[in-house]
Each structure stands twice: as C-alpha cells, then as structure tokens.
Structure 1
Amino acid sequence: MSAWVKQKKWQVEKHGEKKASWYAEWNEPDGTRRAKSCGTGSRGKRAAERLAARIREELITGTYQREERKTWDEFRQRYEADIKSRLRPASVRSAKEALSHLERIIKPKQASSVTAERISEFVRVRKTERGKKKKSKVSPATVNGNLRCIKAALRLAHEWGYIKTVPRFRMEKEPKKLPNYVTPEHFALMYQSAGAATKPAEAPYPIADWWRALLITAQMTGWRIGELLSLRWDDVDLDAGTAITRHSDNKGGRDEKVALHPIVIEHIRPLRAFVPCVFQWDHDRRTLDVEFAKIQDAAGIKLPCRDSGDPRHGKCTDACYRYGFHDERRAFATLNAENMTREALQVLMRHKSANTTDRYINMARQIKPAVANLHVPALSQQQLNDRSKMAN
C-alpha cells in the first residue's frame, strides 16, 4: 500500500509539463487505484505531495477511509423516508420545500458538493427571489427557516457517511420586532362581535357561542390553533376542569394534562354534543381564517402594518391589518409572563427549550417597561402649571 505523485502522460503531451495537472495516486486496501488532481505548476505539485504523504500515513496506520461518491439524489430519498416516520407533517413539508429550493439553486450532484461556499450562494440567490406577497422579497426569517431545515438534513448526511463534515452556516439577521398580541381591549371587541361569523353553520349550538369559547380557550391556555381544533371530548373532564393535549397534536411531542380555568369550562360546556371534538370544524383551515376576519371587521379592528416600512415587505394585504390565531398565544404569554415563574410558563406553553420561553418573557418586559420606579425630577408647581398650559 503506497501513494505517489505523477502527471498524466497524455496531459503532458497535449498541454506541456507546466500546464499539465499534478496528481496524487494511491492503491486502496482492496487494490482499487485512486487518483486526485491537485493543480498545475509547482503549487499543484506541492499540494499533490502533501496529499500523497497524508494518504500514505493513513494507509500505514490503518486510519484510511474510502471517500464514497454518494449522490445527492440517493441521500434525499433516504432522508425523506426517514423524516416521514419521525416528524410531524408540517415539519416534513418544510424540510422538503427547503431541500427543493436548495436543489433548484445550486443543483448538487454529489452530497459532498453541498459546501459552505455553495450554501452562501444559495442564501444570496434566495434573498433576491419573490416572496408570497406582490412586489415582496423572501424575508430573512424565511431564509433562516430554509437554512435550519438544510442544516438538520446535512447533520444526518454526516451521520450516514454521505459527507465528511457539516458545512458552517451563517444565518441572516432578522429584525427584532415587538410581538403582535391580542390586547385585552381588542379581545373584548371580538368577543362581543362573535355573532358576525357564519360558520360552523351545522353546529347544534349558536355560532357565536362556538367562537366565544374558542377565543376564550385560546386566550387562557396559550394553545396553538391546531391543538384546539384537535381537542377531543374524550380528553376533557369538565368536572375536574382538565384537558389532555396529545403528542400527535402538539409541537412538544408529548401528552400533557392541563388544568383549565373555570371561565374556560363555563364556555366549552354548552358545546357538549355528539361530536368527537370540542371545537368541531368540518371546513378547511382557510375558511377558519376567513371567519376570524369577519369577526375582526365587525369589531372595527384595523391594526397598523408593522412591516410597511420594510422594502422587502411588498404590497400590504388585508392580513397585515388583522390578528392571526398565534397572536392569541402571544397574548397568553405576554399578559401572564409577569405573574408566574419562568418554569410555570414553560410548562403551560409546552416549550421544549427554556430559551423559547425566555423570548416571550423578554418581549413582555419590553411591552410593559418597569417605569413606575423611575426617578422623577422635582418640579415646582409653577413649572407644572406652565407645562400644562403648553400641552393645551
């Protein structure tokens, strides 16, 4: 077993010795002849000599590992089969979408061709592409979401031996925005206007009661909308005041029994009927958003667009001026962060990481700054009176 340096005879004849590439060649333990080009000239020769010396040492010490030329297509097929059985459908869709964008932009042939340089190329191109809204560009948050999915895939590629190392990733800087959450005043208006909704029309109880129960439960549990719509009567104990969120329905990936506030019990009790789910919804998800928009319009809610000054935002749509269901979850965290411990809030919101809970707590502190204990400069009554006249 050995390794050596040489130039290809046909290259020397065609290009001359100075322009012919230098190669490191070696025989693998099974006798297979391998070669790698290292460039031309004296620099290429030195690189080939270094590579040959390293491979020679690995062959002697028994640490040599054969570099498999595994294709990207082979890896992706194995990866998709793996995540399909492990991840939630939404996560599988995000992963497939991110890898499809990567393939479209950098067109990898071998898995090993996905390097840090190619990832940077992917980010540069992705940032210039059109976003979902008219005249908008893909946001830094979307790019980072793609990168997280790609990085997770490449970690498995490394574990499975498709690549030697996971390339380094540079995430895009995202603007630090204050959270959008349903304020108590707006919640009261929506609660009062719940009768503006027209679905679920087939329910054996008033539509307004259904929506009021949904809004109250979302506001007072912090559950995601998917968890609420999946909540089954079999998992609710009205007398004990508890409900179980199942691992198949939440992002925490675990079953958890949660105590419900008496107000929540009071609102969901009238919905008890011969249907499997508490919030039985036999329409698509888009229709739910449309009905929620009707309630907000009837309540006279029109929020300022938080991204109107962002050149990547594009043309505003009606959704820019309304709340989404996740804003109810943010309201739960923001309005309760100062009234409970970090650990209690993490349990109630079912965050896997305490860092996620900390972000909600920090946002709550920004919204509710502790100004009550600030030093107030001493002012004379005359100065206060003068200030009052100027204000008027």
Structure 2
Amino acid sequence: MASIYKRKGRKNWYIAYFFGGKRRFKNSGTTESKLAKQMANELEADISRGTHKEIKNASTVELYREYLIDKRHRKARTNKSERWPIKAFLRFLKERDSKFPRVSEVSKDDVRAFMKLRYDKKEAVTYNNILGIIKRFFAKAVKIDMTASNPADDIERRKQEDKEIKAFSDSEYRRIERASEGIPIYWMILIGRYTGLRLSEMVNLEWEDVDLEGKVVHVRNKAGHTTKNYKKRVVPLCAEFIEKFRAYYPALKENQTGYVFHPFKCIKAKEGSHYKTMEGRKYAGPGPKNTIVKVLRDAGVYEPGKCFHRLRKSFATSLKNKGVPIGIISEWLGHSSIRITEKYLADVSAWHPAIEQTTLEREESSEKSGNTFGNTFGNTQYGHFLPV
C-alpha cells in the first residue's frame, strides 16, 4: 500500500510504495497532503493494473551528462549558451540541499525560486530564453524516464515585445555608401545589401561560392561553419552588383581561392591613415560589427540593434515592395518557413513605399539596364526585382 510522509527539512510530501519486490520512494512535488494522498492512491491503482512505469532514480548530474550527449550534434556555440544556465540551476539546487538532488525530486517551486532569484529583474526575452533551456533540459529527463513530469512545464513565460528591425531607406543607404568608401567593410555592406546574407555567412564566404559568370552566390555548409538552419541555398546577383563587386579585385582571377573578406587594420601616419588587409585570414570576434557601427554613426543613421541584419531586411524589403512573391523571398533569405518571412516583413509598408510600376515596365527597364540573372535564374520572371 502506498503511503505519504515528510522528510526532515523538506516542504514537499513523499510517497512510499512497493514495486518490483522493492520498497521505493518518490517526491510528490506538492506541499498539500490531500493532493499527495490522491497521487499515492493513483500510483497504487496503476501498480495493481500493471500500467505503472518506474522512473529511474537518477541524479541531476547524470541527466546533465545525458543531455550533453544528446546535443553533441549541434553547434558548439549553441551548446555553450545552454550549458551555463543549466549549471547555474544545478549549483542553485546543490547550495540549497548541500548535494545534487535526484531528478524526480526537483519541483516546480524549485524552478520558480531559481528564476526569481537570478532572472526576476532581467528583460522578458532573457527570462523566456533561460526558462526554455531549463524546460528542454527536463524534457530530456521525461523522455528517458528519469522523471514523470517536467517541472518547468506550467511556469508562465513573460510577455515580450518584438523589437522592430528597421530597413534602410534608399537615401540612408546612399549615406552609408559614402561613409564607408575607402574602408574594406564597404564590400561587406554591399553584399549584405544586394544578397541578404547573414554576417556569419559573409565572413565564411569563399571565392568558390561566388559565381560571377553564372550571376549567383552559393550559401553552403562547410567545415567550421553551417548556416543557421543547415539549409543550403543559391542567391542570384544583379548586373549592378557584379559591376561594383568586380572593383573589389580589379584583376580578379578565375581560380581565386580562399575567403572573400579578410580582416583589416587602420594604419595611422602623418600623411594620413590607410587600411591594411590581412590576406589569408578570416574574421573572428566582433570586428565587423564594431566597424559597421562606426560607419553608421558617421552616416548619421545608427540605431542600437542588429546593424548587419538591417542590411538583410533592406534586401528583403526591396524585393517585397517590387512584387516578388514571399515564397521566393523566403528561399533567398534561407528562412525555414514562410511564416518567419511574413513576420519579418510585417512592417514593410512603413519603411519603403511600394513602387508603382507595372510588370511590363519593369521588364522593359530590366532589359535596358541588363539587370538579369545568369544561367541558373535566367528564365525567372523575378530577375528585374533585385535591388538596384
């Protein structure tokens, strides 16, 4: 027969019962005796019916090891960002109980107490992210039968306001171009504006990915870098971009190899400053982000937020305002679903007024300017919609 009891120094009721010829103990997860007694009766009924599934009596440290093994296929940066909140939570439990508790002993009150202590004054987005990590951690425990229920399931997320990422207007972009002329970051700004690539994709872009003859850029997964959702894609290039980009290397060789963009440093001298590019090396750290912030400040268009991502949104906004179907935009941006793209462009009309031009007029202007795709996208009807 199942019975309930309390342990010294603990608020929750515990259930004692027999299963598989052994006496076992379980944390009810509640401080109310009536509810604990009801749970004990239900447990006894499940055992008598043969439907009871025994939970492993594992510690939270064992669960942590299992969780890391399960997530080893993900990016190292993602695993690192999830490890420290889980470690902080486990340390919180150990400091309170002087030992790491069993997984089945962790209750909703424990999760609430941790979130209140560490993240009560944080922004809603931070609070929700940490809560989501803890929830995924215990979801693993439920999956491998270390606990019957997820203690973080019923804890409410905080309401958060989505921060709007504003696209650059045409006049703002011209000011950015003038402010970045002569600085190597100019070419990263250019490719961000004309292709919508993410910063990590630009940093890892190699010459074999850029097909100027075919007028496309290939975004691939490679050693040391994968796209955000592991999705490969091909982004078309317009004639104006190719003309500008050829100036990056006037004597561009057909068999050019290595990274397209290299870090650089400013050399100050009496006769003036100049920039030295470190060939063969790849960007690392916050270098490009810091440089573009300086450029945007000089152009008078800086706003706190994701600066490079604003170039990406400017690319998408131009396509949307010129009538490109959202499915095509989603594919070129590398989004996992059209829903993300719809949310991405929800405020598009507030920043770029739609261009009143018929499809025929667009095609005629495209033919005159030569703004069409190469072999891969040569027959598509959206070639003339690229930013120009």
TM-score, scaled to structure 1: 0.69
Cα–Cα, structure 1 residues 325 and 268, in superposed 2: closer, same or farther, change >3 Å? same
Number of the residue aligned with 2:24: 34
* Partners of 1:22 and 1:240 in 2: CA distance: 70
Q: Which amino acid aligns with 1:266?
A: E
Pick one of 319, 340, 349 that aligns with 1:356.
Answer: 340
Number of the residue aligned with 2:213: 239
Q: Report the structure, 1 or 2, having the larger helix content.
A: 1
Number of aligned residue pairs: 315
1:68 partnered with 2:60: no
Cα–Cα, structure 1 residues 110 and 187, in superposed 2: closer, same or farther, change >3 Å? farther
Number of the residue aligned with 2:204: 230
What is the aligned-residue RMSD (CA, Å)? 3.4
* Partners of 1:366 and 1:117 in 2: CA distance: 45
Q: Which amino acid aligns with 1:285?
A: G
Number of the residue aligned with 1:184: 170
Cα–Cα, structure 1 residues 47 and 256, in superposed 2: closer, same or farther, change >3 Å? closer
Q: 1:183 Cα shift? A: 2.9
1:326 partnered with 2:312: no
Q: 1:52 Cα shift? A: 4.9
Q: 1:276 Cα shift? A: 0.7
Q: 1:359 Cα shift? A: 1.0
Q: 1:293 Cα shift? A: 3.1
Number of the residue aligned with 2:228: 251
5+ long unaligned stretches in structure 2? 95-99, 264-280, 357-388
Number of the residue aligned with 1:382: none
Task: Give runs of aligned pairs for residues 202-351 of structure 1, distance below 5 A.
Answer: 207=184, 211-247=185-221, 248-269=225-246, 270-271=248-249, 272=252, 274-281=256-263, 282=281, 283-299=283-299, 301=300, 303=302, 320=304, 324-338=307-321, 339-351=323-335
Cα displacement string for residues 135-167 of structure 1 (whole angstroms, at most 9, x for unaligned residues)? xxx321222222233333332222122222232
Q: 1:249 Cα shift? A: 2.7
* Partners of 2:106 and 2:180 in 1: CA distance: 52
* Partners of 1:123 and 1:49 in 2: CA distance: 29
Pick one of 98, 103, 117 that aligns with 2:109.
Answer: 117
Q: Which amino acid aligns with 2:17?
A: W
User: Aligned with 1:325: secondary structure?
Assistant: helix
1:168 partnered with 2:154: yes
Please, which moves more after superposition, 249-258 or 117-126?
117-126
Please, which moves more after superposition, 351-360 or 176-185?
176-185
User: Aligned with 2:307: secondary structure?
Assistant: coil
Q: Which amino acid aligns with 2:340?
A: T
Cα–Cα, structure 1 residues 327 and 159, in superposed 2: closer, same or farther, change >3 Å? same
Number of the residue aligned with 2:86: 99
Q: 1:23 Cα shift? A: 7.8
Number of the residue aligned with 1:78: 66
TM-score, scaled to structure 2: 0.70
Cα displacement string for residues 41-83 of structure 1 (whole angstroms, at most 9, x for unaligned residues)? xx85x66764554333323322122232211111112212321
* Partners of 1:6 and 1:237 in 2: CA distance: 71
* Partners of 2:302 and 2:119 in 1: CA distance: 28
* Partners of 2:227 and 2:65 in 1: CA distance: 27
Cα displacement string for residues 249-301 of structure 1 (whole angstroms, at most 9, x for unaligned residues)? 311212222222223323333334654112233343222223223323443x2
Q: Is the 8 A contact 1:157 1:163 kept in 2?
A: yes
* Partners of 2:4 and 2:212 in 1: CA distance: 81
User: Aligned with 1:155: secondary structure?
Assistant: helix
Q: Is the 8 A contact 2:168 2:311 kept in 1?
A: yes
Cα–Cα, structure 1 residues 352 and 169, in superposed 2: closer, same or farther, change >3 Å? farther
Q: 1:241 Cα shift? A: 0.9
Q: 1:225 Cα shift? A: 0.3
